Structure formats: structure tokens, C-alpha cells
Structure 1
Amino acid sequence: MSRRVSAAAVIGVAAGVAAITAAVAATLAAVITARFARQVVTPVTTREEEFRITAVDLAAGTVELDGEDAALAGRYGLWFEHDSGHARLGEVLAGEGRSALRRLDGVDFGRLDRAKRGRLDGWLHLGPWELGRTYENVVVETPLGPSPAWFIPAAEPTTDWVVQIHGRGAKRQETLRAVEPVFAAGWNSLLASYRNDGEAPESVDRRYGLGGTEWEDAVAAVRYAREHGAERIVLMGWSMGGAIVLQAVLRSEEVREALVGVILESPAIDWVDILRFQGVLNGLPEEVGALVGRLLSTPAAVGVTGVASPIDLVSLNAVSRADEFETPMLLMHSEDDGYVPIDGARRFAEARPDLVQFEVFNGARHTKLWNHDPIRWTGLIRNWLAER
């Protein structure tokens, strides 16, 4: 029997291997895309502890961290041991890059001296009681049920209200940093919660709508403000809260009737752009982010991610709908955000220079503009509100 293998056979085997390889690659890409898409719409329950806590000196009031951004300028909250403890960090005393010795301004709860890992957070305050201002626990009736909120009145009675909408994976505490400049400008503050944030009622699918569903809860917060005397309202949105605010403005006449301005802090303007960026950040090809965007917009998203209905990312793109806005805006974003690229914010500002005051920060991370430069940040908000 001849041991020779014909050229046709070799070509056939090669073609078969190529076909199998392509099928495996396609399957792998589909699995990665599906997993990424689920992560995007699933509320965060556990957070990565990106820092090693290498030394703690409670008597000296110092803590040493190892990890990317350990030497970020500014004051931050430090959650440690799976969020079972919380401390407050001050400025960097020594070090740079991945290792830094920081001032320890206090430990709120937990045993920091025993902790091994932790994560930085922009929340320096845990509640409005820390601000030294009068506040009330109130309830906003949303389409899904009662949602908790904090109301901080101005020093003098006023019909001017700023309604705060926090970002993805955060809670009302994120927005506490804005209370002081709002108070200084003579406005009331309403710090709202919304569906699936761990405080407000959950939706049936328990998934984020990236602003496409949560906007109804922002409308409910505005309704609450109006029912309690608000005549002029500014909506402020942080990160995904920015997308929520912009959708509320676009979709609700009730909001537009009382709206006199919008403040956006590190906002999610263009989700497709964000998904591409996030994919690359996680070591994936840029194309995967685009695939996730397309998947979320199709009926297949229901079965793959658990969302109740597809998410129309085109309608959520504020840049493509920039001509529909009529309200003055203060837009603040950092070149070094590291989570939501500034490109979408820049394109939005360029599309509506007549409405948008665009303020660019450098060195600050996502939703940490106040932490990085509190004087500039608070001054911008206070002065912008005063101009209203």
C-alpha cells in the first residue's frame, strides 16, 4: 500500500483544521462577548480590592498602599477586607507610582491594622450627618415603588433645587461631595436612589438599563421636588447617572417644564465608545466592545444577559441627539478618567458650545474630580449655580 499522501488530501486536512479553528475562535468570541455584555448590565455586588495594604501605623496616622494609583493626589475613602471596614485617606506623604505612604485621617469601622487588601473610593463621606447640615430622610415614589432619598435644605427657604443622580455601582453617598457648593449657592439638595442600586426597588430583570430604564426614577425625583415646592430644578448626574439625567431631559416634558440646568460629572455620553474602551482596558480586542454594543441592542440580549428588553444604545447616544437639548449645562470630565473616556463628553460639548460649559481636569480618576481638586470643582458648581 502506498504511503504517499496526495496534495488534495493535504489541502483537505488543512481546510478542515482551518474550519475547526475558525469555529473555535467564533465560539470563544461569542462566549467572551456574552460574558462582557452580562457584566455591563448586572449590578455590582462585589468589588475588586486593587490595593495591597502593606503597612499601617495607627499611632502615627499613616497607611502604606501598593497598587496602581496608590499615589493619587487628594483625599479618598478606603474600603478594606471586602467592604467590612472603612477608613479615610489624606494626601500622599511619600512614594509615587504603585507604592505610596498616605496620611490616615481616621478609621470609621473595621480593623485596618489587620487588613491585607482594600480599594479607593471617591466617597469621603458616609452620610449627610457628617456635613453638619440639617437633613431629612425622605421617600420618592417611583414607578417601581418607594425609593429612599436625602433632602438637605438651603440655609434660607428657596424654590431652587438640585436633584442628584449617582452612577453605576454606587449609591447616594457618591453625590454628597456636591452638597457644600450647592448649599453655598443657596439651593436645596435632593440625593436620590434608583432601581437596582441596592437601596431602591429592583426591576423585574434586576439589570441596568444604562439610562434607558432608570430615567423614570429621575423623573420621579423631579416630581417629588416639584410637589414639595421646587420651581427651578437643576439635574446633576454622575457617570451612568449622567446618561440617566440626559434621558430624563430628552424623554420627559415634566422634567423640562421646571429644568433650568444640568450638571454632568464624568458622564456616560456614548455607550458604544465606553464599551470599546472597557474592552481594551480588560485586555480584549477593541472589536469586542463594538460586538457587545450590537448585542445589547438586539432581541438576543434578553436571553444572553437577562435584560427584560433590548437596550437601544443609539437612542442613548447624547452626541447624536445633541440638537434636541435646550438647557444650559456644566460638563466636567478628566483626561485621565481611566474608566469612561473623555471623548464622548468632548464631542457633546463641541456639538453644543452654545449650551455646554466644558471643564477639563487632568490627573483625576473617574468621578473623583472633587477628590483631586476640591477647590476648583466646588467653585465651578457654586459659581455656575449662582449664574442661573
Structure 2
Amino acid sequence: MSNGSAGRAARSLVRPDGETSGTAPLRTFLYTVDGTSIDSVYDPGPVVYDTSPSPADHPVFVVAHGFTGDVDRPHVRRVVRVLARYGAVVTFSFRGHGASGGRSTVGDREVLDLAAAVGWARSLGHTRVATVGFSMGGSVVLRHAALHRDAEGTDAVVSVSAPARWYYRGTAPMRRLHWLVTRPAGRLVGRYGFRTRIHHRDWDPVPLSPVEAVPRIAPTPLLVVHGDQDGYFPVDHPRMLAEAAAGHAELWLEPGMGHAEHAAADPLLTRIAEWTAARLRESG
């Protein structure tokens, strides 16, 4: 949930580059229910606030980045530029990433970060909210949709390049990632090489896995997107997610696509935005 300071920062119209303008994106820190500060940016997209229609008439995309990303990374800003053609966009840095507080729990308590961002989007007047997540963020949007059915919930879900199950080590990139997360030397590399502060404690308890979360998402519209050349998670992961949805999810296996934001070309992001906007219109 966001607190009063978020509203005050929003009214100051602070752009990501630090300048101010009446039409600029809004930048603020949100606070999660466990007290973690989350660096967040709201891009109005095509919405014009001093005329009709109101923000309630426009969709908002809440983007959940992948592990070691943050709100200022060029690949995250590129996603924003494409989605902003179809609605407003909220981006944020997960805990332990960029300027946000706390330490990364690699997909566990990050659900609280996403809930704060969705709550902020609704507090700005949007009644149609979609979550779009990549890699770690893809697993977070699935778990968030399963666990939040309140004002911090979502009306459509897009999960891109997400794992289906925890502790997967079947590819070289995932073995390297496990070293980064579980070893003291790896966490130092994460902090100084990737601007990502990783929590040293193991999960206790182990959180609900993405494949366990998927059946709980219905009837919220769900799109699972995955590249057939993903070097982190092979195509059995998206197929497991789609199967767990029991016909509720739509699955796009993208030929030649690699992993997450870097591999999601603008035409694919455009298709995702169009699919999401259509589902939100149907639900609204």
C-alpha cells in the first residue's frame, strides 16, 4: 500500500531525470506493508488530466522487471515507451534493486512491492489495471494475481519468460544465478556489479510457486509469453503454466525469442499491449 508521502510526491510532478514539468511523469517512493521503500514512476501515456476523459477511462500497465533490473534501466524504459502508446504505465524497482530499499528475496516478498504499485495506480484514478512481468517479475505477477483479490489486485496478467517452478538449475545461466544468490561472493557481485542487494537468508517458508499460483488466477485474463530460444527456462516451463491454467490462459511461444525484456522486440510488446487493452475493455 502507498502512504500519504506518495501522494505529495506525485503532485510535485518529478520526472525521472529530476526536472519538473506540468506534463511530466510522476516519481515517488511507495511503502509496502512491510515498510520497504519502492522507487516508482508513473507515465501518463496518452491520458490528459485537465480534460475529459478521466484516468478511469484509460488502462494502466504496471510493469514488473526482471532480476537485476530497475526502473531506470534502458530495457525497462523501452518497454514503457511501447506500452505508453496504449495507456498509462507504472514502473518501479523491486526491493534491493536500484534506489529501492531492502534486499531482494528473488520473487518472494516482491509480491508486496507489486501490490504497492498496483494500489498506487488505482489511487491515481485508474479502474482498469494490468500487470506485465518479465522473468522474476513474470513469476511475481502470477503470484500477486493469485494472492491479491482486493484493491491491490489486477484485472489482467501478462507473464513473460517466467519460471514455472522454484530451484531450477537445468541451464548454465540459472546455475550462475543460483551462485549469485546463494554464495557470499555472488551476493557481492550482485551488489557492486548489478546494483542488486540480495538477502542472505533462505526462503522460510518456501513461497507459493508460479505453477501453483496459476490455477488461482481465474477468471482474471492471463497471457503467458515465452521464447523458444530462452536460455534460462526451456519451453516446458510455459507449457506447465498453461497446463496448470486448465484452458484459462493464452500461451504464446515466440519463435527465435530469447529471455525477458532484452529479447522482447517492440512488435511483440505492441501485441502484448493490444491483447491487454482488449482484455481490459472486455472486463470493464
Same fold (TM over 0.5): yes
SS at match of 1:163: strand
Task: Give the match for residue 178 of structure 1.
Answer: 79
Task: Provide the rounded CA distance (Å) in 2 between the counterparts of 1:375 and 1:322.
Answer: 26
More strand by share: 1
Deviation by residue 1:221-254 (Cα, 9 ceiling, x = unmatched):
1111122212121111111011222222222232
The letter for the 2-side match of 1:190 is V
Tell me the secondary structure at the aligned position of residue 170 of structure 2. Answer: helix
Higher RCO structure (Cα 8 Å, ≥6 apart):
2
Asked if the contact 2:135–2:161 (Cα under 8 Å) also holds between the matched residues in 1, the reply is yes
Alpha-carbon distance change, 225 to 279 in structure 1, aligned in 2, over 3 angstroms:
closer
Corresponding position: 1:262 with 2:157: yes
User: Deviation per CA, 1:280-337, whole angstroms, max 9, x where unpaired?
Assistant: 866xxxxx99xx9xxxxxxxxxxxx83165351xx43222343211111122111111
Match runs of 1:241-320 below 5 Å = 241-254=137-150, 258-272=153-167, 274-278=168-172, 306-307=200-201, 309-310=203-204, 312=206, 315-320=207-212
Partner of 2:278: 386
State the Cα deviation string for residues 101-142 of structure 1 (Å, max 9, x = none).
xxxxxxxxxxxxxxxxxxxxxxxxx9899xxx8422222222
- Equivalent position amino acid for 2:62 in 1: V
Partners of 1:247 and 1:128 lie apart in 2 by 33
Select between 377-386 and 155-164 the one with higher mean Cα deviation: 377-386
| Identical residues among aligned pairs (%) | 22
SS in 2 for 1:319: helix
The AA in structure 2 aligned to 1:194 is F
Structure 1 equivalent of residue 38 of structure 2 = 147
1:198 is paired with a residue whose SS is coil
The residue correspondences of 1:298-377 to structure 2 (distance < 5 A) are 306-307=200-201, 309-310=203-204, 312=206, 315-326=207-218, 327-352=220-245, 354-367=247-260, 368-371=262-265, 374-377=266-269
Asked if 1:166 corresponds to 2:65, the answer is: yes
User: Structure 1's 137 and 238: CA in aligned 2 closer, same or farther, altered over 3 A?
Assistant: same
Counterpart-to-counterpart distance in 2, 1:279 and 1:151 = 32
Matched ranges for 1:148-227 at <5 A: 148-156=39-47, 157-159=54-56, 160-172=59-71, 173=73, 174-185=75-86, 187-202=87-102, 206=103, 208-227=104-123
TM-align CA RMSD:
3.0
What letter matches 1:269 in structure 2? Answer: A
What secondary structure sits across from 1:339 in the alignment? coil
Matching residue's letter, 2:96: N
Alignment of 1:40-55 (within 5 A): none
Corresponding position of 1:13: none
Structure 2 residue ranges without an equivalent (≥5): 1-15, 48-53, 183-198
Cα 1:228/1:365, change in 2 over 3 Å: same
Q: Which amino acid aligns with 2:42?
A: F
The one-letter code sitting in structure 1 at the alignment partner of 2:164 is I
CA contact (8 A) 1:331 1:345 kept: yes
Q: Report the alpha carbon displacement of residue 166 of structure 1 after superposing the two structures with TM.
A: 0.8
How many pairs does the alignment contain? 230
Aligned to 1:363, what secondary structure does the other structure show?
A: coil
Query: Structure 2 matches for 1:94-113, cutoff 5 A?
Result: none
| Residues 319/265 of structure 1: CA separation in 2 closer, same or farther (3 Å cut) | same
CA distance in 2, matches of 1:259, 1:317: 19
Q: CA separation in 2, counterparts of 1:216 and 1:360?
A: 29
Q: Residue 40 of structure 2 aligns to which amino acid in structure 1?
A: A
Instruction: Give CA deviations for 1:169-228 in whole Å, capped at 9, x if unaligned.
Output: 11123432332442222x2100011211132101xxx3x323211111111111111222
Question: Structure 1 regions of 5+ residues with no counterpart?
Answer: 1-125, 283-287, 293-304
Pick closer, same or farther for the CA change 1:280–1:270 going to 2, 3 Å. Answer: closer
Question: How far apart in 2 are the matches of 1:311 and 1:278?
Answer: 27
Which 10-residue stretch deviates more, 231-240 or 345-354?
345-354
Residue in 1 that maps onto 2:132: 236
Q: Note if contact 1:243-1:316 (Cα within 8 Å) is conserved in structure 2.
A: no
Q: 1:197 aligns to what SS in structure 2? A: coil
TM-score w.r.t. the length of structure 2 is: 0.70
- Cα distance, 1:278 vs. partner? 4.2
The amino acid that maps onto 1:176 is R
Q: Please say which structure displays the higher CA radius of gyration.
A: 1
Relative to structure 1, the CA distance from residue 260 to residue 280 in structure 2 (aligned partners, 3 Å threshold; closer, same or farther) is closer
